[in-house]
Amino acid sequence: MFIDVPGGRLAYDLHGEGPLVVCVPGLGDTRDAYRSLRPILVEAGYRVVTMDLRGHGESSAGWSDYSQPAVGDDIVALLEHLDAPAAVLLGNSYAGGGVIHAAADAPERVAGIVAIDGFIRTVAVSPADRARVRLLVSSPWLWGAYYALSHPSAKPADLGEHRARLVSMLRDPRRRAAMRGMLLDHGPQAEEAIPQVRCLSLVLMGAKDPYFPDPAVEARAQASLLRGQAVMIDDAGHYPMSEFPGRTAQAVLPFLKNVF
């Protein structure tokens, strides 16, 4: 399914019945990132939407803005399209900031947020780090290899197939431009919007996430800012929902029950 918004078209899937849960993947990924978690949530009695970020998956390419606030706008547009009065938003990686912006901008439509290994806090990026980012997005194969390494303990049986789809997607230079735009985003970060977030919050973090020097410290800092709870997923990397979907569900389902 698709929804047209200013600047392009967004792709999404809808499964199940019940209270609405919207799952948003990180940059360089697609809505299939939630392929293993989604059926667990549906079986538990939730209506689950998975969406592609702008410039990713089946969403259109060539957007002028790839910032976290823009991602938040897309999420709100989808909630309005679905006429959802109260939803829980799950956002992985870059989309962790997107769900915060959505919660800040549309509090009447967001009942709770779950940041999964999210990039939420403002961090300084060195010139060396920026050079590594440019190298990473210059080659779809490099991103595919890095994506696999971000599942350090329990690689899903279908990881090879999913990674191949990501590599194929990123052969399109417009898709690489979208990823580069997010990785090098200098716009307002999610941390600035946190004071406007009033809904319940949960921070999930893989204990072996390679993107953070100390994942446990980062999770506690994020939870403190959001006035929420931090839960570590033992042995998981940056994508616990695909590496350990059962453990991820064990953390998410009690939160959903508390919200709804």
User: What pLDDT is recorded for position 126?
Assistant: 60
Mean pLDDT of the chain: 93
Q: List the domain range (segments joined by +) for residue 28.
A: 2-259
User: What pLDDT is recorded for position 183?
Assistant: 83
Yes or no: say if 33 and 241 are a contact pair by the CB < 8 Å rule: yes
Give me the percent of the chain exceeding a pLDDT of 70: 95
Counted domains in the chain: 1
Band of the pLDDT at 187, cuts 50, 70, 90?
low
User: What pLDDT is recorded for position 131?
Assistant: 72
Helix (H) or strand (E) holding 150: none
Any long-range contacts for 171-177 (C-beta under 8 Å, 24+ apart)? 171/140, 172/61, 174/55, 174/61, 174/62, 175/55, 175/56, 175/61, 176/137, 176/138, 176/140, 177/55, 177/61
- State the sign of the Cα–Cα–Cα–Cα dihedral 69, 74, 78, 80: positive
- Quote the pTM value: 0.95
What value does the mean pLDDT take over residues 3-15? 97
Q: Examine the pLDDT at 198 and tell me if it is beyond 60.
A: yes
Band of the pLDDT at 184, cuts 50, 70, 90?
confident
Q: Who wins on pLDDT, 32 or 142?
A: 32
Band of the pLDDT at 255, cuts 50, 70, 90?
very high
User: What pLDDT is recorded for position 252?
Assistant: 98
User: What pLDDT is recorded for position 97?
Assistant: 95
User: What pLDDT is recorded for position 223?
Assistant: 97
Q: Examine the pLDDT at 188 and tell me if it is beyond 60.
A: no
Q: What is the pLDDT of residues 118-134, one digit of tens each?
A: 999 876 556 666 676 67
Q: Who wins on pLDDT, 181 or 205?
A: 205
Alpha helices in the chain (DSSP H): 38-43, 68-81, 94-105, 127-138, 140-149, 159-169, 173-183, 215-226, 240-243, 245-259
User: What pLDDT is recorded for position 186?
Assistant: 62
Phi, psi angles (nearest 5°) of residue 215: -55, -40
Q: What is the pLDDT of residues 107-116, one digit of tens each?
A: 999 999 999 9
User: What pLDDT is recorded for position 139?
Assistant: 85
Which CATH number belongs to the domain containing residue 209 in this structure?
A: 3.40.50.1820
